[in-house]
Structure 1
Amino acid sequence: MHSILVIEDSPLLLKIMAHLFNQHKEWQPVFCASYQEAELLLETSASLFFAAFVDLHLPDAPNGETIDLVMEYHLPCIVLTGSYNERRRDELLMKGVVDYILKENYRSYEYAFRLLQRLERNAYVKILIAEDSEATRKYIRTILTPQCYQIIDVSSGNQALEVLKSQPDIDLIIIDHSMPGLTGVDLVKILRQKMYYNEIVIIGLSADVRGSLSAMFIKHGADDFLRKPFYPEELTCRIMSTLERRDLVRALRKAAQFDSLTGLNNRRNFYDEGIKLFQEAGRNKRQLSVAMMDLDFFKKINDNFGHATGDAVLVIFAKALIAYFPTALIGRLGGEEFAMIIDEPLEAIIHMLENLREHCAEVKYALEAPPLSFSAGVYQNHTGSLELFLQEADKYLYQAKHSGRGKTCSILSLCI
């Protein structure tokens, strides 16, 4: 939980802020109503705060002195004000405040909290600036540093490619069009042609007045475009919006690929990834195994201890599978049925399943609940499709369940 310092003297605004903090339990607000209170609090406890909301005009600090106080302690500072002054706004943004927000309506305060959420995520976001003008690179750094991003800058497209090769975890790149060597558009083309750069967010820049240039950037794969000169807020808002779109796409993709309860591959993704593994194994003449697993008497767990306990059992079993089979492709096919594809000798797989079975028997998941148990069927062969392997493994699973449960059946031996 992060502590957020709120320096504000308006009772109405404090009430609104308290309501919003109640909706965001991950943040703990500390309220004070004057410069003097804030000064005392920061002197003793500045290290406890993640960021600060600061009223621009306080009775004992009418000219924004509280902002300077907060920034002395290097706290991200979000300014709240009831009046708009463009020159003052520009001064504050260039000084290094996170943003300058008018106290207009409830939506303004919601935006302020959206900024807080973004600041928390930004600490893990790497931004690369590819711009040949040192002054522009410095200007962009000045704008983005208060947003808590990790920032790297280079002066050419070729340098940008070198950095991307050594640091593949870069999230966003700002690309100027007119650079020595590769142009900005050429760099975008190269990045989008390489599959592993598909997720990187790209924002193009140019002082060129041609309207077609922005279209060229977008057509070749840039996510957005800015014409120089630009306002600080324009850059920060566009970056925030593009990152949020990326995060949304990632969340949708995850929802489409992974089981929401256990985090394992869902049936569709297990099949898609499994087919790829079988194709690769066929090319490399490798032998794969498929195991099917089913929790024993799972309906009784739900009936006797409740569905919440049943869900907890599924999560416990999924985590155990990952721990005992870290190299396997594992999926939840539905209900209490699980499957995995693994490249190990059959004897080793059976032994690992027995170790897993011993672990599960010791798990305490509910008071007076029976030991957690599962049945398994394993099939291994040199040739065949994923569908065939799953059918054969399912046959052995059927044998395991009908020979007393809590066993593993395979072509290697009788159920054990």
Structure 2
Amino acid sequence: MSFFGLSGMVYSGESLNHHRIVLAEDSNLFSAMVSKRLKELFDIDVIVCRDFDDLQFAIENDSFPAALAITNINLPGAENGQALNYLIEMSVPTVVFTGTFQESIRAEIIAKELVDYVLKDSVLAVDMLAEAVCRFLTNHRHHVLIVDDSPTARAILTTQLKRYNFKTSAAENGAVALEVLKKNPDIELVITDYNMPEIDGFELTRRIRSGYGMHQLRIIGVSSSADRLLSARFLKAGGNDFVMRPFVNEEFYCRVNQNLDTLMKIRSLAERVKAVA
């Protein structure tokens, strides 16, 4: 069964039932809807936890660790958000599924470095949650190269992408990046800083494009410069997208997803054309 995500993601339909998913949700309605949808789409049997005690038991009393937890912010027995802290302490990747959302809550979720959050604010909420689950469980198939001469910037991006379950490589300059690309033909996305010595982001993009077409690899440029013309110059050099620092976490993740979705669609179309020819 193919699943076309609300944001453009395409899921081919293979079973993901080897993953153990824990759902901490005291609402019978939402727990039933989420369980049914994940079973329909991905053949996943969800372990439902109605309160904090159930959640602790599910996490700690199974030899097969949870690949992902989905949790409300407040649970019976953990009315002040203790469930989130517990899941972080147990190193369980977590998606928050909540109907209570304010800027302070968003800031807290981002600070805790959870995988994602989905709001229960529309009839599409369950499908949006299913897409978030699918992305996390399949992101390891995507190899992303981070290019930045700043060790701190490389570390931040690497940590953020690994939190989303991507496979990552890093390079401290353009020359190293080109060597990494040669050795790793599975790289599908390059995220490169603009301001680097010797080979800057523009020149690196031009060199990459001389050997890799749009159907092979996507390129996102990043910069903390206030020069608004950088994005135009970068796109003209062969880039696909441009993001200004400091990032808004949700925007950055959406940009990465959208570029990979576009790449998958281009490849799928090319395969169809080849099959017809």
Counterpart in the other structure of 1:20: 37
Alignment counterpart, residue 211 of structure 1, candidates 225, 228, 234: 228
1:46–1:75 distance in 2 versus 1, CA, 3 Å: farther
Counterpart in the other structure of 1:184: 201
Q: Whole-Å Cα distance in 2 between the matches of residues 174 and 87 of structure 1?
A: 30
Q: Deviations over 1:198-244 (max 9, x none)?
A: 51111100112222110111122211110111111111111111111
Could you tell me the TM-score, scaled by structure 2's length? 0.87
Contact 1:191 1:198 in 2 (8 A): no
Counterpart in the other structure of 2:159: 142
Q: Deviations over 1:359-379 (max 9, x none)?
A: xxxxxxxxxxxxxxxxxxxxx
Q: Secondary structure at the match of 1:53?
A: strand
Counterpart in the other structure of 1:225: 242
Q: Whole-Å Cα distance in 1 between the matches of residues 251 and 63 of structure 2?
A: 30
Alignment counterpart, residue 47 of structure 1, candidates 39, 44, 64: 64
Matches within 5 A, 1:1-400: 1=17, 2-45=19-62, 47-195=64-212, 199-258=216-275, 268=277
1:195–1:144 distance in 2 versus 1, CA, 3 Å: closer
Contact 2:144 2:169 in 1 (8 A): yes
Contact 1:201 1:222 in 2 (8 A): yes
Q: Whole-Å Cα distance in 2 between the matches of residues 25 and 73 of structure 1?
A: 25
| Identity value in percent | 29
Contact 1:131 1:156 in 2 (8 A): yes
The one-letter code matched in structure 1 to 2:258 is: S
Counterpart in the other structure of 1:298: none
Structure 1 range deviating more: 75-84 or 221-230: 75-84
Shift of residue 125, structure 1, vs aligned partner: 1.3
How many residues are aligned here? Answer: 260
The one-letter code matched in structure 2 to 1:43 is: E
Q: Secondary structure at the match of 2:64?
A: helix
Shift of residue 88, structure 1, vs aligned partner: 3.4
Higher relative contact order (CA 8 A, sep 6+): 2
The one-letter code matched in structure 1 to 2:207 is: I
The one-letter code matched in structure 1 to 2:195 is: S
Shift of residue 117, structure 1, vs aligned partner: 1.5
| Gap runs ≥5 in structure 1 | 259-265, 269-416
| Gap runs ≥5 in structure 2 | 1-16
Name the structure with the higher helix share: 1
Shift of residue 47, structure 1, vs aligned partner: 2.3
Q: Secondary structure at the match of 1:132?
A: coil
Q: Whole-Å Cα distance in 2 between the matches of residues 161 and 177 of structure 1?
A: 15
Q: Whole-Å Cα distance in 2 between the matches of residues 7 and 140 of structure 1?
A: 29
Shift of residue 133, structure 1, vs aligned partner: 2.1
Q: Whole-Å Cα distance in 1 between the matches of residues 39 and 83 of structure 2?
A: 25
The one-letter code matched in structure 2 to 1:13 is: F
Q: Whole-Å Cα distance in 1 between the matches of residues 63 and 220 of structure 2?
A: 35
The one-letter code matched in structure 2 to 1:257 is: K
Q: Deviations over 1:298-356 (max 9, x none)?
A: xxxxxxxxxxxxxxxxxxxxxxxxxxxxxxxxxxxxxxxxxxxxxxxxxxxxxxxxxxx
Counterpart in the other structure of 1:344: none
Contact 1:206 1:227 in 2 (8 A): yes
